[in-house]
Amino acid sequence: AQKVTQAQTEISVVEKEDVTLDCVYETRDTTYYLFWYKQPPSGELVFLIRRNSFDEQNEISGRYSWNFQKSTSSFNFTITASQVVDSAVYFCALSESTQGGSEKLVFGKGTKLTVNP
């Protein structure tokens, strides 16, 4: 069965520090998708990144970067030079996508990041 583990429940850093949010997943499928979402205090879910299981290239988008390692079933998220506006709950999610079959998106329990000025 699918499972996503975000072991860090809460992280608190000081502005400008780098911070890494961990995500470990379990799946039996060879084709799957991984996502990161941000949930600011306002409550909406903001899409950050999608990665499919065949693309292990790391990605950088501004201060955000993602490290996908199939060998360790991990998809970690790093924020460089954190800012107060990065304070939010971050969710890692896993989707097994089967053409014509059932589909399920499973979320980790989230990591609450607080960036202090």
Partner 1 sequence: EAQVTQNPRYLITVTGKKLTVTCSQNMNHEYMSWYRQDPGLGLRQIYYSMNVEVTDKGDVPEGYKVSRKEKRNFPLILESPSPNQTSLYFCASRATGYSGHYGYTFGSGTRLTVV
**Cβ 43 to partner 1, closest distance in Å?**
5
3-state secondary structure of 55: coil
**Cβ 109 to partner 1, closest distance in Å?**
4
Nearer to partner 1, 76 or 95 (CB): 95
Q: What DSSP string runs through 61-85?
A: ETTEEEEEEGGGTEEEEEESS--GG
3-state secondary structure of 110: coil
**Cβ 11 to partner 1, closest distance in Å?**
16
Nearer to partner 1, 32 or 86 (CB): 32
Are 35 and 47 within 8 A, CB to CB? yes
Nearer to partner 1, 79 or 108 (CB): 108
Separation CA 94–CA 105 (nearest Å): 6
Q: Which positions touch partner 1 (CB under 8 A)?
A: 33, 35, 37, 43-45, 47, 50, 91, 93, 95, 97, 99-100, 102-110
**Cβ 34 to partner 1, closest distance in Å?**
10
Q: What DSSP string runs through 31-48?
A: SEEEEEEEE-TT---EEE
Nearer to partner 1, 24 or 106 (CB): 106
